A and B are shown apart, each in its own frame.
Chain A
C-alpha cells in the first residue's frame, strides 16, 4: 500500500510512458483522456476552420472554391463538394463522439469524481483504463477511414444514403460502436462509484452538484448507448449483407434508422450538457463565495432532464413524415425539458445574489456559459414548437442552436472547469491575464461566428451546404471571420497552458477557497487521493 510520502504525488510517484499506459490511477487516466481529447479537438477544430473558409464566398461553383484551391496532396482527386461533405462529416463525428461526449465525464469526471466524494479511486480501475483504450481503438479506426474511402454521410449516418455511398461506413460505425463501449464503461463505473464508494458522512444529499450531474449523465450513458450500439451494428449488417431492415427496396423503413439513432443521440445531447451544468454549479458557488441556491432543485433537475431526455427523440423527425399526433406529443415533451433547465439557470443567478464575485478566468467561463446557454436554451424552445421547427428544421438556425448549446454550453464549461481545476491537476498556476484574454477572444469570436447563423437559418439557408445562393454571403463572411477569433482565443489558451505546465508557479492546495473535498488534499494529490480518509459532517458548499 503506497503511503503519501512527502513530495510524492500521483504525477511523480513513477515515471516513463509505460507507467502511464498501464496506470490504474483515475487521475492519470483523466490526464490521458485530457491529452487525447485535446488532440481530437485540435483536428476537429482545424476542420471547422476549413469549412468556414469554404463558406466565406458563395461562388464556389464557378470555380473559386477555397477547397478546390488546396494542393493536390491534401485534396486528392476529390471534387470540392465531396471534400466539403467529408470534412463536414469528420468535424461532426470527431467533435461529438471523441470530444464532447467523453469531454467532461472522462477528463474532469475521472479526475474529480472520486476526489469529490472522498474515495481513493473509481470502483473499477481496470475498466476505467479499458475505456480509455476503447476510445483510442475507436479513434484509430475512425482515422483509418481517412486513408480508405473517406466517409461523407454526416455524423448522423442517415439511411439509405449511408447504405448507398461508396465510403468506408462499416469501419466508421464500428469505430463509433467501440467508442460507445468506452462511454458505457465510464458511465457504469461512475454509477457504482457514487453508490458504493462515498466516504463516511457523505450522504447522497451531501455530494457536490458536479457529482450529481455526472451521476445523471452516467445513467443516460448506460441506458441509451446500447441502442446506438445495436443501431450501428444493424447499419453495418445492412451494408455487408443487405439485411433490409433500413432499406426501402427490401421492404425496410429508412426512417426507423432515424428513430433508433435519435433514441440514443438525443439523450446523448444531455450526456454532453449535464456534466457541463455540474461544472457551472461548482464554479458559481466557489467564485461567489456563497453556498449554492437550491441544491436539491439543481440535483433533481439533473435527474429530471435525464429522465425526460429519453422521450423527446421525435423532435428530430418533425418533417420526416411521422404522424401529426407524434409531432404534437414530442413537441410537448420537449417543452418539458425546458422547465428543469430554467430552474437551473435561475438557481445559478440566485446564487450570485449578494455573493462576493471574483472575476477569474473560470468564473468568466461560467458567466459566458450563462450568457450563451440562455440564448441556446430559448432557441431550443423555438425549435420545439412544431410549425416554427418546420421552417427552421435542417437550416443554419439549428446549426447555430446546437453550437450555442454544445460549444457555448459544454465547451465553455470544459474550459471553465479546466481553468478551475488546473492547479489541482498539475500543481502549477497559469497566467491569469492570458487566460482571460483567451476567454475574451473565444467568447466574442463565438458570438460573431454563430449569431449570424441564426439569421441565416431564419432566412432559410439549409445546413450541410457546400455552396449557397448569393443572398447569404454577407452573414457567412461575418461568421467565417468569427471563426478566426475563436481560433486565436484557443491558441492563446494553449500557450498559457503550456507555459503554466513548463514554468508556472507552484499552486497552493486551495487557490480559490473551494469547499469541496478535492481542495482539502495536497496539490497535486497523492496516489491514494487523501492521506487520511476524510469524514464529512455537512453539505458541500458551507460558506458561512
Chain B
C-alpha cells in the first residue's frame, strides 16, 4: 500500500498539472493506477523481450530450436488477465465519468461562447469578460456555445474538456478547490489563431467574486477609451493585434498607428482615421494592409457591435501611443 501511494505520487504527480478540483484528484488516482499497471506490463513485455534476446542469442548457424506450436493454458492466461484488468479500469472509469457528467443542482451557471479566436464569458447579470472568474468551492456549470466553428474548452488543472459545437449547447461543471490562475485552452482546431485562443480561469473567494461582478457591471459608466480597452479584450481583437509594440501578431500592430498613412495590397494609400478603423472592423476584406494575406483571416464584426461599442474601440485605438 505504501509503495502504491509512493508510485502514485511519484508518477501521476510528476506529469500532471496542478489538481484544482476533486475530480482532478480522482482522475489522477485512476491515471496513477493505469501508469503502474502499464509500467508492469511494459516491464514484462519489454523486459522479457530483452531477457530472451540476450539469453537465446544465436550461437551458431546450426542451432536447434524446440518445436512449440502453442500452449492453450498460457494463451488463455494472457487473454483473461488483460481482460480482467481492462474490465476493472473500465468500471472505475465509468464511475468517475458519471460524476463528471452529472450536472449539480443549484450551480452557478455561466455562459461561455467560442468564437474565432477567443472565448467570451457571460454572467447572469450581463457582465462580459474574456477570463473566467469563479468563486472557490462552489459548483459552476458552464454552458458552452459557438458562433462559428467547433471549439473545445479545456482547463488542464481541472481535468475537464468539452467541445463547443455551433447550433447547440453543451455543458460541463466543476468545483474549484484551489485559488489562483489556471489556463483554459481551445483544443479543437479552429483555424489561424487556434493556439492563441487561451483564456485564464481565475479562482477567487466569494467576496472577491461578488465585488468583481459589481465592478465589471459598472463598466458602462467608464470613460469611452477605457471601455474600448475592455472591448478590445472581450471581442478578441487582442489575440491578433499588438497594442504596446510594433511587432506583427496575426494582423498588423495598432501601436502608434492612428493618424498615419496606410499602404494597402493594391498599392492604394489611405489615412488611418476613424472611418478606416470602422470599415476594417465591419468589412475586414475591404482594405488589407500591404504584406498581409488576402483574404484576411479576420472575421467581420458587422451586426455584432453597437455604435457605442464601435466608438469606444476607435477611441481606445486613437489613444495607443
Contact = CB atoms under 8 A, between A and B. Distances in A.
Contacts of B191: 85, 152, 161, 165
A200 interface: no
Contacts of B31: 382, 388, 391
Contacts of A153: 189
A381 B86 contact: yes
B34 A385 contact: yes
Contacts of A295: 69-70
A297 B77 CA distance: 13
Contacts of B186: 462
Interface in B126-150: 148-150
B63 A289 contact: yes
B38 A382 contact: yes
B230 interface: no
A164 B34 contact: no
A462 B187 contact: yes
A290 B65 contact: yes
B199 to A, nearest CB: 12
A491 B230 CA distance: 53
B86 A338 contact: yes
A371 B52 CA distance: 13
A469 interface: yes
A349 interface: yes
A458 B49 contact: no
A378 B41 contact: yes
B170 interface: yes
Contacts of A479: none
Given A354-B68, A467-B196, A391 B27 contact: yes
A255 B66 contact: no
Nearest to A154: B189
Interface residues of B, number: 91
B97 A328 contact: yes
A71 to B, nearest CB: 15
Contacts of A460: 17, 154, 156-157, 183, 185
B100 interface: yes
Contact of B194 (A249, A464, A469): A464
A390 B45 CA distance: 28
A291 interface: yes
Contacts of B192: 79, 81-82, 85, 152
Contacts of B165: 248, 254-255, 320-321
A354 B168 contact: no
A324 B196 contact: no
B85 to A, nearest CB: 8
Interface stretch (B87-95, B206-214, B255-263, B312-320): B87-95
B257 to A, nearest CB: 17
A342 interface: yes
Interface in A492-517: none
Interface string A285-304: 00011110111110000000
Interface string B167-192: 11010000000000001011111111
Nearest to B249: A61
A63 B248 contact: yes
B79 A354 contact: no
Nearest to B163: A320
Interface of B: 15-17, 23, 26-27, 30-31, 34, 37-38, 41-42, 45-46, 48-49, 52-53, 56-59, 63-71, 74-75, 78-79, 82-83, 86-87, 89-90, 92-94, 96-98, 100-101, 148-150, 152, 154, 156-157, 159-163, 165-168, 170, 183, 185-196, 198, 247-250, 291-295, 297
13 contacts: A77-B292, A320-B150, A320-B165, A342-B82, A352-B49, A352-B52, A356-B58, A356-B59, A374-B45, A374-B46, A460-B154, A464-B195, A468-B195
Given A82-B297, A460-B157, 5 more contacts: A81-B194, A350-B68, A386-B97, A390-B97, A465-B194
* For the complex of A and B, 6 pairs with smallest distance between CB atoms: A460-B156, A248-B167, A356-B63, A378-B38, A385-B93, A465-B195
